[in-house]
């Protein structure tokens, strides 16, 4: 509805600047017309519809009814199909929680294998770069960070880390849950470090620390 409303407001502004008298959400013959434009004896009824919506909401019969209504009032009828822009900044409420609840039950192996116990605390900083919504399902992809607490096998805490990761997921927007989450890549450099070992000089402090961590 937002995109249809925005398109109607944009057209109303353009028509008004061209000398048309514009009426929004006009009640006519028991129906409500999205936009009516009048200039002299010329009248045009406009209806706005989101592209692709006609398959499931009975729009065909509504279209015929609006066409008939326009003829009854000596007006032309125009159907405006609204298409989303190719690039949009999108947010999905609760996506951090949905990802967290799924990964709590299905932790990425890269993270769970680091220590004796890996406790997933939360998912933060979700940045969606792709969203495809079909009915009540959203297929999304993007980047986020996984906050974890790492423990030894005996339960002693050995560190808390924030690991960036890339993901794709399928979300149920009605149930507010993630049905599938595919963790594509986890950046563990903050835990293992970026510097390679140098066997000729003996282990560095960082290498020794890494070896201790690996034994957990």
Strand partners, 79: 47
213 backbone dihedrals φ, ψ, rounded to 5°? -65, -40
Top pLDDT among 3 and 133 is at 133
Q: What is the pLDDT of residue 79?
A: 80
Residue 67 parent element (H or E): helix 59-72
For 95-154, write each residue's pLDDT tens digit: 999 999 999 999 998 888 887 888 899 988 888 888 888 889 999 999 888 888 888 888
Average pLDDT on 185-210 reads 57
Length of the chain equals 216
Residue 147 parent element (H or E): strand 137-151
Please check the confidence at residue 158 and state whether its pLDDT lies above 70. Answer: yes
Core vs surface per residue 99-126: b (16+ CB within 10 A) or e: bbbbbeeebbeebeebbebbebeebeeb
Tell me the pLDDT band of 195, cut-offs 50, 70 and 90: very low
Which of the residue ranges 7-16, 30-39, 205-214 would you say has the lowest mean pLDDT?
A: 205-214
Cα–Cα distance measured from residue 77 to residue 154, given in angstroms and rounded to the nearest whole number: 74
Cα–Cα distance measured from residue 181 to residue 183, given in angstroms and rounded to the nearest whole number: 6
For 68-85, write each residue's pLDDT tens digit: 899 899 999 888 878 766
For the record, the structure tokens of 67 come out as 């066409």
Nearest Cα residue to 69 out of 28, 38, 35: 28
Q: What is the pLDDT of residue 51?
A: 64
Q: What is the pLDDT of residue 85?
A: 61
Top pLDDT among 198 and 4 is at 4
For 23-33, write each residue's pLDDT tens digit: 999 899 889 99
Please check the confidence at residue 168 and state whether its pLDDT lies above 90. Answer: yes
Cα–Cα distance measured from residue 93 to residue 97, given in angstroms and rounded to the nearest whole number: 9
Strand partners, 177: 172
DSSP 73: T
Q: What is the pLDDT of residue 80?
A: 82
Using the Cα atoms of residue 194, residue 197, residue 202 and residue 203 in order, give the sign of their dihedral.
Answer: positive
């Amino acid at each position: 509805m937002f995109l249809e409303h925005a398109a109607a407001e944009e057209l109303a502004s353009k028509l008004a600047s061209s000398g048309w008298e514009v009426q929004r959400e006009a009640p006519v013959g028991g129906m409500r017309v999205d936009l009516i434009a009048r200039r002299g004896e010329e009248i045009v009824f406009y209806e706005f519809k989101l592209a692709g919506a006609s398959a499931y909401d009975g729009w065909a019969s509504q279209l015929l009814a609006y066409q008939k209504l326009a003829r009854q009032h000596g007006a032309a009828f125009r159907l405006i199909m609204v298409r989303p822009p190719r690039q949009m900044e999108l947010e999905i409420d609760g996506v951090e929680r949905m990802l967290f609840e799924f990964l709590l039950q299905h932790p990425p192996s890269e993270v769970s294998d680091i220590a004796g116990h890996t406790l997933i605390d939360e998912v933060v900083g979700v940045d969606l770069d792709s969203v495809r919504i079909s009915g009540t399902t959203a297929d999304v992809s993007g980047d986020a960070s996984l906050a974890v607490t790492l423990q030894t096998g005996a339960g002693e805490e050995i560190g808390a880390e924030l690991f960036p990761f890339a993901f794709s997921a399928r979300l149920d927007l009605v149930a507010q849950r993630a049905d599938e989450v595919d963790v594509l890549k986890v950046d563990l450099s903050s835990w293992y470090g970026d510097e390679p070992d140098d066997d000729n000089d003996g282990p560095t402090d960082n290498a020794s620390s890494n070896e201790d961590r690996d034994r957990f």
